[in-house]
Structure formats: C-alpha cells, structure tokens
Amino acid sequence: MKQLSVLSKYFWKYRVRFTAGIVFIILSNYFAVLAPQVFGYVMGKVVEHLPGAKTAASTQVKDGVMRLLVSRIDTLPFGQLVAACGVTILVLAVLRSILMFFMRQTIIVMSRHIEFDQKNEVYQHYQQLHASFFKTHTTGDLMNRIAEDVSRVRMFTGPAIMYLINLLSLITLCVIIMFRKDANLSLIVLAPLPLLAITIYIVNTVIYKKSEKVQALLSALTSNSQESYSGIRVIKSFVQERSMLNFFTRNSEEYRKNAVSLAKVEAVYFPSMTLMVGLSTLITVLIGGRMALHDHQQVGLIVEFVIYINLLTFPVSAIGSVASMIQRAAASQKRVNEFLQTTPEIADAPGVQPGELKGDIVFNKVKFTYPHTGITALKNFSLTVKEGQKVLILGKTGSGKSTVAQLLLRFYNADEGSIAVGGRDINTFPVKSLRDQVSYVPQDVFLFSDTIASNISFGLHKPAPPQQVELAAQYASIDREIKNLPEGYQTMVGERGVTLSGGQKQRVSIARALIKDARILLFDDCLSAVDAKTEHEIIHNLYNYLNEKTAIIITHRIFTVLNFDQVIIIDDGEIIEQGTHQELMDLNGYYAELYRLQISNDQSAA
C-alpha cells in the first residue's frame, strides 16, 4: 500500500473530479437505501388494509427525507398512497442511475487521466535513461511497465477506488439504518456476510495466482510465436518447422492446462457466492417470517431487510476483488516506482552551459569497462583529431572501435582519462547539446515505421524542405532508388511499409546523419551492406560533403578513395598502429597486410 502513496499527487491534481465523484457515490447510495424504506412503508400500509387486520401497522420512519415524504402522503387514500410510493421508488431509481452515470464520469474518467499522465511520466523517464539500463532490461519488461503495470494501477485509481467508496458508504448506510430499526435482527441476518467476504477474498487470491500464471504462459506463447514469425526465414532454411511446432505445442499445452484449471475455480466461485448471498436472504425470510407470524406490524420491516441484504450483496462480494485489485496495483506500482527511481547515469553536471563544438577532439588515456559485462573495451586510449581531419578507425571485430563513438556521444562515461572537444571536457557540455552537434550513423540501422522523408529528417528540429531531404539522399547515393519507389520519398518503410534492402537502409541512415549538417560526423561501420561500386560512389560524395568537417569513420574495410589524415588500428582496446596511409604501409604491419589483401580481393572480384 505504501507503494501506492506516490499516486496522491495525481489525486490532488484531479481533486475536484475526485471529490465530486465521492459526493455522487454517497448520494447515489443514499437514494439506494431510501427505496427499501419506501417499500417497507408501503408494505406496512398494505398489511394494514388486509381483510381482518386488527392493528394499524407501525411505520418506523427514522430518515428525515422519508419523514417528509410520509407526512405528505400518509393521509392520502390507500390507492393514491400506493401509487405515490411507486412513483417515488421509480424517481429514486432514476436519480440513482443518473448519479451512477456521473460517478463513472468523474472517477473512471479521472483514472484515465491519471493513466495518461503516468504513461507519459514513464515514457519521459525512459528517454532520459542511460544506454546500460536498456542493456540490462528486456524490451518485454520495459513494454510491460508502460502498458500492463500502468493499466493495473489504473484499475486501482478507477474501479477499485470507486467500488471501495461505494461499498464503504453503502455498507455504512445500510448497517446504520438496519441497526436503528432492529439491532437483533440486523446481527442475525448480517452474520453470514463477513464469512462471504473472507471466502471471496481467499478464492480471489487463488484466482489471482492462477490467472497470473496463465498470463505469464500466454506472454511466453506470444513471444515464442513472435520470434518464430521474425525468424521464419532462418527456421525454413534450417528446416526446423517441425521442432518449432513441437516447442509451440508444448507451451500451448501448458497454457491450456492452466487455463482450464482457472476456469474450474471460477466455475465454483460464482455459484458458491450466490449460495452464500441466498443464505442471508433465507435467514432474513425465516426469522422475519416467524416474527411476522406473531406481529403483523413487522411485515414491512422484513421486506425492507430482505432488500437491504440484496443491496449489500454486490458491495460485500466486491470486497475480495477490490482487495486483490489493490494488491495487484501495489505490486505494479512497485515495479513502476523501481523504474522511476532509477536515476539516469548520464546527466548534466549542475550549471553546464551549451556551446558550439569546434576544434580538436582529444581522447586522453581513456579507459572504459562496460558496467554489466565487465568487458574492458578501451585501455589507455589516446587520440587527437584536429578540426577538419578525416580519421579512419580499423580493427578486428570486438576490438573496441564502436566504443570510441559511444564514449564521444556520452552513451557511457569513460572510467579513466578524459575526452575533450575544442579544449572543453565533453562532460561540461549539456548531453543534448553535445549529441545535437554530432552526426552519428550507428552500426545497427533503425528506421521508424514512417515515410522515407520523415526518417531522413528525423534529427531536425523543424520540418525540412523536400530539396534538403533530396540533397542529403543524393550525398548518401540513395536518391535515385527512392525516386523509383511507387511513392518516392513518401513511401512508408518499417514493419508496415516497403522492405528496403540492408544497403538501402544503411544509406537512408547516412542521409539522416548528413542532413543535420553537423561539424563532427561519426560513421560506425555504415557501409558494410553496400556493394563496392556504391561504396565508391558514397565515399566520393562524402569527400565533397565533408570538406571542412571533422569525421571519424569506423570500418572493417579500407576506403582507398578517401585520403585520410590518420588511420588508427585498434586491437583489444588499444591502438596498435597509427599514422597516415603511407606511414602504415611503410610499417608493414596489420594495416599493410589488410590493404594488400583487400586490393587483391577487389582485383579478383573485378
């Protein structure tokens, strides 16, 4: 419950709606308990008019509104009195329905507003969290917190709160009226209700546990089928359809067993609930009937009590489900809180001022170990890139090349040493300002489910004119291919759109970086999927585009077309060769060997 206290800020935010909702619930329940009193009164009058009735039935009227009504109709002829009572009951029912409508309109609508705010809060927090957080949490878990957990919390801020206030006010009103009318009879007829509430709570907990399991199995089944669809080509090419089917069937069977067991418990639950409610009504009729035999005056009271018991049925049976809704919401809110309390590791130091990024990039004795794997990706890494220089970083796979880009963009903070741009430590720039001024083409291409034009202009802060988008695409050598698509730049890509080839996606991703027109560019192995001719064309275009800009190009291949100011070879996180093309050829080490190998491969391919 402590977990849910964080929601108080939202209840305060929507206090007017919330208070109005509480008033509507209480008023609607007040009208609900007035109706049995009218029934009781009219039944008393009916008994009074029965042939052979000896005594005038007493009308135990305790409520102010009832007293007012009785004073108006008590002297009416019998027929008119009954009609007036009928109309009153009808009016009360209509009033109650209207109030119930407003009760939902206030409380349930408030819960939807809270859900919206909370989703935004969670999403905003996601955006601020550091890269290693996303490495240690699965996408499914993150999706669950924003979707499933927030929805369960909504079940608390909406239905659970509404039922709780409803049941508390209705039980209080009914019990007060019943005890004022006949304390002994009240004690007897209400006795089974706590038993009913406890039983429902216990059974509900069992249902909750079972449905949790069913839910988890269903999630596993969904991820299993999702993975099968995504990897369908691998499955088919390795002829693994049957084993995948067997795996799915096993999971599916497990799900079926648990779902059937849940259905069995639910099947017992509802009839036993009705039985217990029936028991209360039965006790009222039995004891009340005996009382009425001795005293006809009691008939109206018994009728009233039977209606109260039926009125109490729903709130009492809701206690269990409300309690488990609150439990679930508390567990979900705990998960949301854990996440919201995760502080972003990469944050701006107090008082940092934005500034223009220009000048040399200097890595000074940088050491970095990935926090959750303990892999030291860079050791004693020092590199000076002068403004306007083009630097090529080469090295075996896993040698630490991409880590250089990750650290420069502050996806992670270096453990030792420093990184400076224009003589200013990058930690003294606001992170957003730093990233805004560096164009980055990541190794893993990601395109959003949107048009090609939107994907290219993604990093811009205002809409880009079509000419600007086309120019960027021309530099990335993808313009012609885009124009050949049925809808050109307006073609949808991503899951629901046209499937671009790996090389096409890479070039759209390059265009997205180039359109930013930043002074510093980082290309991380971004031409791995294009053919040699296209690679040549892009490098040639880049040569013109880069001009005065500073560029760090990470790759496995040597680009012979572009004249690099420096070539760096990294091995196991350390620089093992560094210099110009000629210097490294003279060194006759890793670079020279790679160069000769590549030239001979290119020649044999030509």
Ligand X SMILES: Nc1ncnc2c1ncn2[C@@H]1O[C@H](COP(=O)(O)OP(=O)(O)OP(=O)(O)O)[C@@H](O)[C@H]1O
Binding positions for ligand X, 424-443, rule CB under 6 A? 443
- In the complex with ligand X, the residue whose CB is nearer, 370 or 595, is 370
Token reading at 515: 């359109």
Report the residue from 96, 401, 512, 581 that binds ligand X according to the rule CB under 6 A. 401
- In the complex with ligand X, the residue whose CB is nearer, 354 or 502, is 502
**Residue appearing with tokens 């009360």:** 92
Contacts of 555 (CB under 8 A, 6+ apart): 392, 393, 394, 523, 525, 527, 528
- In the complex with ligand X, the residue whose CB is nearer, 133 or 458, is 133
Q: Interface with ligand X includes 345 (CB under 6 A)?
A: no
Binding piece for ligand X, criterion CB under 6 A, among 20-28, 105-113, 149-157, 368-376: 368-376
Q: Interface with ligand X includes 377 (CB under 6 A)?
A: yes
Report how far residue 59's alpha carbon sits from residue 498's, in angstroms, rounded to the nearest whole number: 79
Contacts of 468 (CB under 8 A, 6+ apart): 457, 515
Q: Interface with ligand X includes 506 (CB under 6 A)?
A: no
In the bound complex, what is the minimum distance in angstroms from residue 574's beta carbon to ligand X? 12
Report the residue from 211, 280, 403, 457 that binds ligand X according to the rule CB under 6 A. 403
Binding piece for ligand X, criterion CB under 6 A, among 264-272, 348-356, 371-379, 574-582: 371-379
Report how far residue 451's alpha carbon sits from residue 449's, in angstroms, rounded to the nearest whole number: 7
Q: How many residues bind ligand X (CB under 6 A)?
A: 15
Token reading at 486: 């049925």
Token reading at 92: 């009360």
Contacts of 484 (CB under 8 A, 6+ apart): none
The contact pattern for ligand X, residues 556-585, with x = CB under 6 A and - = no contact, is ------------------------------
Contact between 527 and 506 under an 8 Å Cβ cutoff? The reply is yes
- In the complex with ligand X, the residue whose CB is nearer, 300 or 400, is 400
In the bound complex, what is the minimum distance in angstroms from residue 223's beta carbon to ligand X? 22
Report the residue from 36, 159, 400, 417 that binds ligand X according to the rule CB under 6 A. 400
83, 172, 177, 399, 456 from 284: Cα distances, Å: 27, 19, 16, 82, 75
Token reading at 97: 């329905």
Contact between 164 and 322 under an 8 Å Cβ cutoff? The reply is yes
DSSP conformation class of 465: P
Report how far residue 143's alpha carbon sits from residue 284's, in angstroms, rounded to the nearest whole number: 51
The contact pattern for ligand X, residues 187-216, with x = CB under 6 A and - = no contact, is ------------------------------
* DSSP SS3 for 542: helix
* Closest alpha carbon to 544 in 562, 518, 524, 521: 562
574-579: strand order across its sheet? 438-441, 520-524, 550-555, 390-395, 566-571, 574-579
In the bound complex, what is the minimum distance in angstroms from residue 1's beta carbon to ligand X? 38
In the bound complex, what is the minimum distance in angstroms from residue 129's beta carbon to ligand X? 14
Binding piece for ligand X, criterion CB under 6 A, among 115-123, 392-400, 528-536, 560-568: 392-400
* Closest alpha carbon to 25 in 181, 122, 170: 170
Number of C-beta neighbours around residue 259 at 10 A: 16
Q: Interface with ligand X includes 310 (CB under 6 A)?
A: no
- In the complex with ligand X, the residue whose CB is nearer, 313 or 402, is 402
* Closest alpha carbon to 457 in 517, 515, 520: 515
In the bound complex, what is the minimum distance in angstroms from residue 575's beta carbon to ligand X? 13
Report the residue from 93, 375, 532, 561 that binds ligand X according to the rule CB under 6 A. 375
In the bound complex, what is the minimum distance in angstroms from residue 398's beta carbon to ligand X? 4
Binding positions for ligand X, 114-143, rule CB under 6 A? 135
Q: Interface with ligand X includes 370 (CB under 6 A)?
A: yes
Contact between 594 and 555 under an 8 Å Cβ cutoff? The reply is no
Report the residue from 127, 237, 341, 397 that binds ligand X according to the rule CB under 6 A. 397
- In the complex with ligand X, the residue whose CB is nearer, 76 or 142, is 142
Q: Please give the residue ranges that form the binding site for ligand X (CB under 6 A).
A: 135, 370, 373, 375, 377, 395, 397-403, 443, 525
